[in-house]
Amino acid sequence: MRRPAILTLIIALTSIFSPAAAQDPPVRLGIDTFLSEPAPLQGRRVGLVTHQAGVTREGHPTAVALTRIAGVKLTALFAPEHGLDGSYGAGQPVPTIPGRTPVYSLYGGTFRPTRGMLARVDVLVVDLQDVGSRPYTYASTMAMVMQAAREAGKPVVVFDRPNPLGGVIIDGPILEPQFRSFIGLYPIPMVHGMTIGELARLYNDAFGIGANLTVVPMEGWTRAMTWADTQLGWINPSPGITTEDAPFFYAATGPLDGANLWNGVGTASRFQVVLATWLDGTRLAERLNQKNLPGVRFSPSAIPHPRTGRIFRGVRLHITDRLQFRPATTTVTILAEIRQMYGDKFTFHRPRRGRYLFDIVWGTKEVRLALSRGDPAETIVARWQPALAKFQRRREAYLLYR
């Protein structure tokens, strides 16, 4: 049978971007365990929600692997933010690509499959590589796919994948309902310590989606594993997440959106720095290192902005222990020190439609208000601990790994 052109493109892109996986990695991904027993999809029309990081542990695209199963008919692909091939920038609309096997955009005119799209499929399969931070949009895409599937009476199968941060780190405030958005749909912390399959179980039951859901678990993954421990090849899930350590930096400095600071996006130092034209990086690094934050050290940094050429100064993060590092705690500590050193020079972008972008990203206004008052970081972090403990107890019923 002649392969659809879009699948040929997927194969080509994956061969370019994926390093060879280590021989016999200790972790078998959800797609790998499914391929051992593919009967549930045989004889069915499949709609696959995926991207270029949706591959087997050998690096074969999930879309291609499914087409090689006798009796499985891949009738539609669904692309999240950044597109099927990962070529679209953050926030950039992704177009639908018509064809014999259409690629429907879930980040353009609609964020969820329409009934017309779902008329082509009997079952929806999700194989997306998340990065472990609430503002990253793939878990929201999965949730909206589950909602649409429930309404259309279609089952959903989620192939599980590792959380690159591991399953131990839980940090940051719980999202409050009034700050619900596509970068945060449900009341989970900034850093949740769950795989995408575990999130699917939590969303479906605790938050009431109620889809006909099956999660295909991994084999060999444990909560203390970061991506490096899996020995799997790294494929960028989005243009800015280019290494296996990038999710850690993103979890810390990605949430700077909405403040008058720069995290190096647009340069090779993306997400590894916190900069402004008015910061003294040497003084700030000294003060932050005196805090002895777990799993991270700081050094002065200076980078020209790619658009203006102006020099931005500040600090560079060096992660020394992945499983001790607390991204949200680290970020709040940096911001609190900057506020103490520079007062009103540190500001937040003006609200739009009555809401601050910073609040939407953090899922609460309390962090912004506390920083504006000059509250110490220790006080801010202490305030979210009771809610974190409650979330940790709540998530227990939905965990698949120990």
Whether 399 is in a domain gets the answer no
How far, in Å, are 134, 136, 296, 328, 337 from residue 334 at the CA level? 20, 21, 12, 10, 5
Which residues have C-beta within 8 Å of that of residue 374, sequence separation ≥ 6? 336, 339, 340
pLDDT of residue 342: 98
* Mean pLDDT score of the chain: 95
Q: Domain limits at 315? A: 246-391
Q: Do residues 258 and 326 both lie within one domain?
A: yes
Of 187, 211, 238, the one marking the end of a domain is 238
Of 238, 260, 281, the one marking the end of a domain is 238
CATH code, domain carrying 120: 3.40.50.12170
Q: Do residues 295 and 175 both lie within one domain?
A: no
Whether 401 is in a domain gets the answer no
Q: Do residues 68 and 202 both lie within one domain?
A: yes
Q: Do residues 290 and 319 both lie within one domain?
A: yes
Instruction: Give residue-wise pLDDT tens across range 124-161.
Output: 999 999 999 999 999 999 999 999 999 999 999 999 99
Q: Do residues 144 and 266 both lie within one domain?
A: no
pLDDT of residue 25: 86
Instruction: Give residue-wise pLDDT tens across range 337-371.
Output: 999 999 999 999 999 999 999 999 999 999 999 99
pLDDT of residue 17: 45
Q: Do residues 196 and 324 both lie within one domain?
A: no
204-217 average pLDDT score: 99
Q: Do residues 211 and 280 both lie within one domain?
A: no
Whether 278 is in a domain gets the answer yes
Q: Do residues 50 and 92 both lie within one domain?
A: yes
Of 206, 238, 270, the one marking the end of a domain is 238
250-254 average pLDDT score: 99
Instruction: Give residue-wise pLDDT tens across range 253-280.
Output: 999 999 999 999 999 999 999 999 999 9
Q: Do residues 153 and 198 both lie within one domain?
A: yes
How many structural domains compose the chain?
2
Q: Do residues 104 and 137 both lie within one domain?
A: yes
